[in-house]
Amino acid sequence: MSLQQEEKVETAALGKVGANQRNRWWARSRWAPVVLAAAVLVLVVVVWQIAYAARFASRLVLPSPGNTVASLGRGLFGGEWWPHIQVTLIETLAAFAIGLVAALVIGSLFAFLPLVRKTFYPYVIAIQTFPKIAIAPLLVTWLGYGLAPKIAIGALLAFFPIFTNTVAGFTEVDKDELDLMRSLRAGWRKQLRYLLVPNAVTYIFPALNVAAVNALLGVIVGEFVGAQEGLGYIIQQKAFLGDIAGVFAVLIILAAIGLGLFFIVKFVESRFTKFSR
């Protein structure tokens, strides 16, 4: 191989190494997900505007991004929607808290009391299979038109993912690890502290994100059925008046609330993981 060829090979190799290093830097960069998420958002808005301009759907079904943003601004900066946002947030947080506590308590009982689990688990599954939108009117009839039925529906939807993961986290423990703890004569409290609870936490935290979103969905369903306040009520009101841009604006607010709940759960998970180490 000639000297020039060797120099070309070496230059190509160095260029490839540099490209690989840049790719690894981009993959490790904390801003990479943010940039990509922003790019996806811009792409969605562009496609949305093109679809609106090309009349791919009726103007009665698909509003323009500009009209949606204008409606969002009027609702937020005009102050009209803030009381409704507050009501929906209170209902969602209450539903999530009730569903979380009930799921942890009942799930723990099912995990540590096999007889209870075998006896009542089919009933829990049967209750979960009920379509919540079908029993929502019944809950409204029982509990009235206040916050209670919305919280009840949201709590029911939040309960099941946490419940099933709690039972799995406490029961699906590595047998070898459990035998090791027992061979070291670790008592029940130490098994619970160093093995069972850490194992259950790895199952429970992923379920919290699903449960938080489910609580919000349950609350909105309850507001659809019977309410005079809340974001679900606003959606129905805007849809009845044919204000589709307003409907889309409220959906954006609901998406923001869902993302906020997701990031709160992730933050709590990171703090809990750091504290438990």
pLDDT of 13-37, one tens digit each?
445 545 555 555 555 667 777 788 8
Could you give phi then psi for residue 102, rounded to 5 degrees? Answer: -60, -40
Segment 99-129, tens digit of pLDDT: 999 999 999 999 888 888 888 888 888 887 8
Shared-domain flag, residues 24 and 72: no
Shared-domain flag, residues 76 and 44: no
Shared-domain flag, residues 7 and 94: no
Residue 133 belongs to domain spanning:
68-276
What is the residue-averaged pLDDT of the chain? 82
Shared-domain flag, residues 53 and 133: no
**Which residue among 43, 62, 81 closes a domain?**
62
User: In total, how many domains does the chain have?
Assistant: 2
C-alpha 96: how far from its chain's center? 11
71 pLDDT higher than 80: yes
Residue 251 belongs to domain with CATH number: 1.10.3720.10
Shared-domain flag, residues 212 and 80: yes
Shared-domain flag, residues 52 and 92: no
Shared-domain flag, residues 47 and 156: no
Q: Please give the pLDDT value at position 20.
A: 53
